[in-house]
Amino acid sequence: MNILIVDDEPAIADTLAYALRADGFSVDHCLLGGDALERLAAKQHDLVVLDVGLPDLNGFDVCRALRRHSNIPVLFLTARSDEIDRIVGLELGGDDYVAKPFSPREVVSRIRAILRRLDREPRVSAVNPEKSPIFQVDRESLRIAYHGQWLNLTRYEYLLLALLLDRPGRILSRQQIMENVWQDGGESLERTVDTHIKTLRGKLRAVAEAEVIVTHRGLGYSVVGG
């Protein structure tokens, strides 16, 4: 597994790189967000440890640029621990968020947890085409077709929609969705679920006007059963 650390503080990066190498990872390091985007385009990496406060590009901007063409896992590092920053990071497609100062061993543990979770992603959904004829789920490629058209979904949009499709007609609470998709059921992060539902609805409406994701006020969300 090859990890890219993007942090402009060499002491922090070196300490984390040492811990990762001791745990069997291969590690690359760069100081700037622009360099990170170039490296990620030129070389295969399995995960990015991305500092939010970079001197050239904000780490959130780097993640946003990455998500236009890549679903590589991203773990944010930041000197700020505000909840809003964590929410922004998750909504942009980040997989985890660690505030400085941190324990290098904890970061290594979180990286391993992310990679284990991603290994399980293809098995998240198993849609019965007879029950949901308007959807087709390709679990190997992590993609979903709606009315025969493949949707351009982020990893979390795929996981959320696949989870709902696997239980047609069943209401899932925000906490249940967080636990199954993000594996973080914190009530303070329920806005993340709402945001992803909103973007999913937009992508579905671009294909067909029918409303297939139903909001149950005070309860959660479901998809229309087939």
Question: What CATH number is associated with residue 158?
Answer: 1.10.10.10
Residue after which a domain boundary falls, among 83, 101, 121: 121
- Shared domain for 107 and 183, answered yes or no, is no
- Shared domain for 81 and 183, answered yes or no, is no
- Shared domain for 51 and 155, answered yes or no, is no
- Shared domain for 7 and 102, answered yes or no, is yes
- Shared domain for 18 and 117, answered yes or no, is yes
For residue 131, what pLDDT is reported?
43
CATH code where residue 67 lies: 3.40.50.2300
Contact indicator for 60, 78 with CB cutoff of 8 Å: no
What are the counts of helices (DSSP H) followed by strands (DSSP E) for the chain? 8, 10
- Shared domain for 158 and 56, answered yes or no, is no
- Shared domain for 130 and 116, answered yes or no, is no
Report the number of distinct structural domains present in the chain.
2
- Shared domain for 107 and 142, answered yes or no, is no
| DSSP-assigned states of every residue in 176-187 | HHIIIIIS---G
For residue 30, what pLDDT is reported?
93
Strand-pair category, 149-150 with 143-146: antiparallel
Q: What is the pLDDT along the chain (226 residues), one digit of tens a residue?
A: 899 999 999 999 999 999 999 999 999 999 999 999 998 888 788 999 999 988 888 888 898 888 877 878 899 988 766 666 667 777 777 888 888 888 999 999 989 988 887 765 443 333 443 444 688 888 777 889 888 888 988 888 888 898 898 887 788 888 888 888 876 545 446 678 888 898 898 999 888 887 888 888 888 898 885 4
Contact indicator for 31, 17 with CB cutoff of 8 Å: no
- Shared domain for 113 and 167, answered yes or no, is no
Angle formed at CA 119 by CA 28 and CA 107, multiple of 5 degrees: 45
| DSSP-assigned states of every residue in 92-109 | TT-SEEEESS--HHHHHH
- Shared domain for 141 and 156, answered yes or no, is yes
- The per-residue pLDDT for range 10-66, each reduced to its tens digit, is 999 999 999 999 999 999 999 999 999 998 888 788 999 999 988 888 888 898 888
Range of the structural domain that residue 43 is part of: 2-121
- Shared domain for 104 and 145, answered yes or no, is no
